[in-house]
Structure 1
């Protein structure tokens, strides 16, 4: 029992340290071009007023560059390291087994990107491209206007899917200390209304409409060409 507790502690500490190390490298690498520009601009032979003006005008482009680099570097890093949400598992969080820790590290990298880059790129082709690069299967003309979309490698969105603002959608649930995972599949043309919650294991047919502030229970299968709404959702027409 003592050995098991020791190894749990070792695994947990290593997982935390690996995340801290990775994010230190990713954030440092992403911001390096902006800092290099500021240092280079400081050597220009111009007066202080013009220098302040130029730096002010450079803030937005430098932030967008930082955010874009963070998106690319983070997605590539998780792919190389194999940090993904394991599909179809039921595991105790307290055991700190590697599948759980890998899931936690993957979600942490997603969280850092959504905090620093999400405000700039949400509901844009760049955000859909990030989801795809980070493991999701995303069709054409997909618009995701939410930063609460997690477990990207367990998501499958068909063409023309729209995920509204503040939608909570993920491939995991935590119940009584157990982590459970399953894919979420949205058929082509599905629209998830603002502020809705889509549970783990949900599938929708093509052209499914889910109204705003609705809750789709876990493992629900919604018919295509049908509208749903409510808490929990019920067929409207």
Structure 2
């Protein structure tokens, strides 16, 4: 078959090889990242065990205090190493790409492997650091362009490198935002641009290619459809999100 008039699909053998290589490579990389991230905690544990050798009561008292700081250091390491690997290996897709799923091309598989690393960060570090400066630090390191005083309280943001957010904007709890969507078996990517002083309410959905100008408020549970353009200073609510009209007698 020739999807959308393009080149013929690769053979099953080629696709099987690509899938196998993708699984092996992401497995090896993730294993290495976990090893590096857990190393400080292991060294700390070994040091405490060495210091308390021969003193069981002291060991019983000290060892439990290792776990929380060790996990925090592990989570920070996981975020840093994952973001650096995605950058180094270019495991992401730029704006305006069209990647047929059936073909299992290398651009698609690079992007998927980047999402796998991001997923592990979300599971093991996201719930600990969401809405904190460390979470915005990770998003920036992973490619997001975030201005000053940006507050992100969501783990449902994907394709960080395709997202730009201006100063003082707030991304509410569980907002879903990603730079890709699937159209008739083709993954398509596009940037999302959010201005300064924007507030996006809890559980809102922002589609690809969206532009939100300065000072916009998007209501909770609203859906901003793909390629929408929201005008500055307005309030948008609903699914799809529409401008909220102000009554003529409403106070400024």
- TM > 0.5 between the two? yes
User: What is aligned with 2:226?
Assistant: 218
Runs of 5+ consecutive residues of structure 2 not aligned to the other structure: 1-7, 246-252
Shift of 1:16: 1.4
Moved more, 32-41 or 203-212: 32-41
CA contact (8 A) 2:10 2:103 kept: no
Answer yes or no: is 1:102 the counterpart of 2:110.
Answer: yes
User: Distance in 1 between the 2:229 and 2:12 partners?
Assistant: 40
| Cα distance in structure 1, aligned partners of 2:191 and 2:76 | 27
Partner of residue 21, structure 1 = 28
Compare CA radii of gyration and give the structure with the larger one. Answer: 2
Cα distance in 1 for partners of 2:88, 2:40 equals 23
| Contact 1:86-1:103 at 8 Å conserved across structures | no
Which of residues 8, 18, 43 is equivalent to 1:36? 43
Partner of 1:114: 122
Q: Give the superposition deviation at 1:48.
A: 2.9
* Cα deviation digits, residues 98-135 of structure 1 (max 9, x gap): 11111101111111111111111111111111111111
TM-score w.r.t. length of structure 2? 0.90
Partner residue, 2:249: none
Q: CA shift at 1:85, angstroms?
A: 2.1
Question: How far apart, CA to CA, are the structure 2 residues paired with 1:219 and 1:46?
Answer: 66
Return 5+ residue gaps in structure 1 as ranges: none
Classify the secondary structure of the residue corresponding to 1:228.
strand
* C-alpha distance in 2 between matches for 1:3 and 1:95: 6
Give the match for residue 147 of structure 2.
139
Query: Do 2:147 and 2:167's aligned partners in 1 also have CA atoms closer than 8 Å?
Result: yes
Aligned counterparts of 1:53 and 1:156: Cα–Cα separation in 2: 47
For the pair 1:181 / 2:197, whether they are aligned, the reply is: no
The answer (yes or no) to whether the contact 1:93–1:179 under 8 Å persists in 2 is: yes
Identify if the C-alpha distance between structure 1 residues 53 and 105 changes in structure 2 by more than 3 Å, giving closer, same or farther. same
Equivalent residue number for residue 4 of structure 2: none
Deviation of 1:89 after TM superposition, in Å, equals: 1.5
Q: Which residue number corresponds to residue 123 of structure 1?
A: 131
Alignment of 1:157 onto 2:153:
no
